[in-house]
């Protein structure tokens, strides 16, 4: 039996296929995996340590920060600040982007955007949560500190993206534009090992994931697609199964493996949806396209959307290609 590759071994093996040097990618992912191991450790102590519940403050988007949000954000920021290739970060939990200026790090080549803990309110009830990250090569001159323009980018400009899911096992899934690979964490040795090579999402699935509590506020197109999922008036000719965890990473991960569609549309009172383009929609869209799927705001490819604000929101239809196309067709029929 051949021993599985560690994450670092896999990166070195594939170094000729990506835009990084092996050292750059190893260091960037090394920072992310180090922070994720620390977060994994703390999550597995939930209920024993005081990391559950609200931190008593709100982020810039008016959302209650959980204690785990604050903790994880600091761990990822610290880990990335210690690496020499990152000149700045943007996080869901930071009001503005953060420039790293120590040891000429502001002159480095890459910026990283991340959601440190997606679904953090679920930690209280043992539901999987996750980390989502996105890596861009800076646009501004590396003779001066990072600028806002380095973050306000088309998603198609990403050089790498991934997520970590903390569930029954902890997995890191990432792409550099050359397919999608998943690595499972073995806590007994502290290493991520290749467990899901060349991940591909089925062209069509049988699962739809959506918060139906807001259905009465949906647009007519979104209501039509939801009714089609329930009635079987779909390409498959059968009703889809509803599976909604309420944790974006968990719902996305399941559909990536089994096939399906995750939907978070705009609705009355929330004209742009609730998910953030920079560090939620864009990285997951990059991943799903590399796995053979699609991601749309209901009309336009996610990776082609123009970004005007750091914490910009957008609707999201993401998953199996045929299901996303089907949803788009119904959404466009109302225009």
Residues 44 and 162 reside in one and the same domain: yes
Q: Does the structure show a pLDDT above 70 at 32?
A: yes
Q: Does the structure show a pLDDT above 80 at 297?
A: yes
Q: Which domain holds residue 264?
A: 207-332
| In-domain check, residue 52 | yes
Residues 50 and 155 reside in one and the same domain: yes
Residue 329 CA to residue 233 CA, distance in Å, equals 13
CATH classification of the domain holding 68: 3.30.540.10
State phi, psi for 89 to the nearest 5 degrees. -135, 155
CATH classification of the domain holding 272: 3.40.190.80
Q: pTM of the prediction?
A: 0.92
DSSP 49: B
| In-domain check, residue 320 | yes
Residues 31 and 79 reside in one and the same domain: yes
Residues 149 and 17 reside in one and the same domain: yes
**Domain tally for the chain?**
2
Residues 148 and 94 reside in one and the same domain: yes
Residues 213 and 246 reside in one and the same domain: yes
| In-domain check, residue 201 | no
Assign 98 a pLDDT band (cuts: 50, 70, 90).
Answer: very high
Averaged pLDDT for residues 220-240:
89
Q: Measured between alpha carbons, how far apart are the two ends of the chain, in Å? A: 57
pLDDT digits (tens, 9 = 90+) for 63-76: 656 788 889 999 99
Q: Residue 83 has what pLDDT? A: 78
Last residue of some domain: 161, 196, 231?
196
Residue 290 CA to residue 22 CA, distance in Å, equals 20
């Amino acid at each position: 039996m051949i021993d599985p590759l560690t994450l670092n071994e896999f990166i070195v093996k594939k170094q000729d296929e990506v835009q990084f040097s092996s050292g750059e990618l190893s260091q960037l992912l090394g920072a992310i995996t180090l922070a994720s191991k620390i977060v994994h450790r703390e999550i597995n102590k939930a209920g024993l340590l005081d990391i559950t519940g609200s931190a008593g403050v709100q982020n810039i988007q008016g959302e209650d920060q959980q204690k785990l949000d604050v903790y994880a954000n600091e761990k990822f920021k610290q880990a990335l600040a210690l690496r020499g290739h990152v000149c700045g970060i943007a996080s869901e939990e930071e009001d503005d982007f953060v420039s790293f200026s120590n040891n000429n790090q502001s002159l480095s080549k890459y910026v990283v955007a991340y959601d440190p803990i997606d679904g953090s309110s679920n930690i209280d009830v043992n539901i999987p949560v996750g980390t989502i990250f996105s890596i861009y090569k800076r646009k501004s001159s590396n003779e001066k500190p990072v600028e806002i323009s380095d973050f306000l980018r088309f998603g198609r400009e990403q050089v790498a993206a991934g997520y970590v899911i903390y569930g029954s096992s902890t997995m890191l899934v990432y792409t550099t534009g050359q397919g999608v690979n998943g690595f499972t964490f073995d806590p007994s040795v502290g290493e991520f090992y290749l467990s899901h090579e060349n991940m591909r999402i089925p062209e069509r699935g049988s699962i739809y994931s959506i918060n139906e509590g807001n259905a009465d506020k949906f647009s007519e197109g979104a209501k039509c697609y939801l009714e089609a999922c329930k009635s079987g008036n779909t390409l498959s000719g059968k009703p889809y199964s509803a599976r909604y965890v309420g944790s974006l990473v968990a719902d996305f991960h399941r559909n990536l493996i089994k096939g399906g569609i995750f939907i978070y549309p705009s609705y009355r009172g929330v004209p742009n949806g609730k998910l953030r383009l920079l560090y939620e929609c864009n990285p997951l869209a990059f991943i799903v396209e590399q796995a053979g799927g699609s991601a749309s705001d209901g009309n336009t490819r996610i990776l082609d959307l123009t970004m005007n604000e750091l914490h910009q929101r957008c609707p999201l239809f993401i998953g199996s290609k045929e299901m996303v196309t089907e949803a788009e067709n119904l959404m466009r029929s109302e225009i």
